[in-house]
Amino acid sequence: MTQTTETPMVELKGVKKRFGDLEVLKGIDLSVDRGKIISIIGPSGSGKSTLLRSVNNLEVIDEGTILLDGVQVNRPDLKGLAYEKHINHIRQNMGMVFQHFNLFPHLSTLDNVTLAPRKLKGMKASDARALGMELLERVGLADKAQVYPSALSGGQKQRVAIARALAMRPKVMLFDEATSALDPELVEEVNLVMKGLAEEHMTMLIVTHEMTFARDVSDWAMFMDGGVVVEANTPEHLFSHPDQERTQHFLRKHLGAQA
């Protein structure tokens, strides 16, 4: 995105992904510098979720390279235990928040947040508890620490999901339409947490249908369609006077619908 000698936090080079005969990502290049926020927008089926899932190696790409802080994420050369170890390392450095909160229903809010650091990092119970409380405080839910997910609103669940993702101290946060399953009045509380992370210079890749939020929060914006990056630019440029007709058409539809 900018000329720099620093290693990008996330870098994609010529990433291709097929599902059977359908090529969903057709050669994606993307570079996100440390502490920067990129919004990814585009019509349904354009490959946005597949792209994020590929970054996290939830999807195995067919061609190209994905790097996290200079370390190659996709490693077709690794097999068995070595591959598992590698993937665990990568996933520990990336927090992901999906559209549908997938909290563990049988665990309290606090235990949802502390599970990964306890199990994966072997963190002591007292340290994990302190970390969990700090993160719940940060998302405004310290008073819900002992409550089970079924007693939380959608926005609260999603904030716990963010705290849970942060518990591994990730280098990057990936958001896939984190607010699109929420009632409109609950969207803002989640957006505020995401804005807070932005202010703390968390590197973030955000897939969203909320154009206003994307314009406000991101350093760079990318419009995808049909598995390609149609255009990428500063949010001011992309949202206000996009160069490509496809982007103009998409934004007319979406900004129109939001107004």
Ligand X SMILES: Nc1ncnc2c1ncn2[C@@H]1O[C@H](COP(=O)(O)OP(=O)(O)OP(=O)(O)O)[C@@H](O)[C@H]1O
Minimum distance of ligand X from residue 117's CB (angstroms)? 29
Minimum distance of Mg ion from residue 49's CB (angstroms)? 3
Residues that bind ligand X (CB under 6 A): 19, 24, 42, 44-50
For ligand X, the closer CB: 17 or 159: 17
- Binding partner selected for residue 44 from Mg ion, ligand X, none, CB under the kind-specific 5 to 8 Å limit: ligand X
Minimum distance of ligand X from residue 105's CB (angstroms)? 24
Minimum distance of Mg ion from residue 168's CB (angstroms)? 23
> DSSP of the chain, one letter per residue?
----SSPPSEEEEEEEEEETTEEEEEEEEEEE-TT-EEEEE--TTSSHHHHHHHHTTSS--SEEEEEETTEES--TT--HHHHHHHHHHHHHTEEEE-SS----TTS-HHHHHHHHHHHHH---HHHHHHHHHHHHHHTT-GGGTTS-GGGS-HHHHHHHHHHHHHTT--SEEEEESTTTTS-HHHHHHHHHHHHHHHHTT-EEEEE-S-HHHHHHH-SEEEEEETTEEEEEE-HHHHHHS-SSHHHHHHHHHHHHHH-
- Binding partner selected for residue 95 from Mg ion, ligand X, none, CB under the kind-specific 5 to 8 Å limit: none
- Binding partner selected for residue 186 from Mg ion, ligand X, none, CB under the kind-specific 5 to 8 Å limit: none
For ligand X, the closer CB: 115 or 228: 228
For Mg ion, the closer CB: 49 or 109: 49
Minimum distance of ligand X from residue 23's CB (angstroms)? 9
For Mg ion, the closer CB: 51 or 193: 51
For ligand X, the closer CB: 133 or 181: 181
- Binding partner selected for residue 208 from Mg ion, ligand X, none, CB under the kind-specific 5 to 8 Å limit: none
Residues that bind Mg ion (CB under 5 A): 49
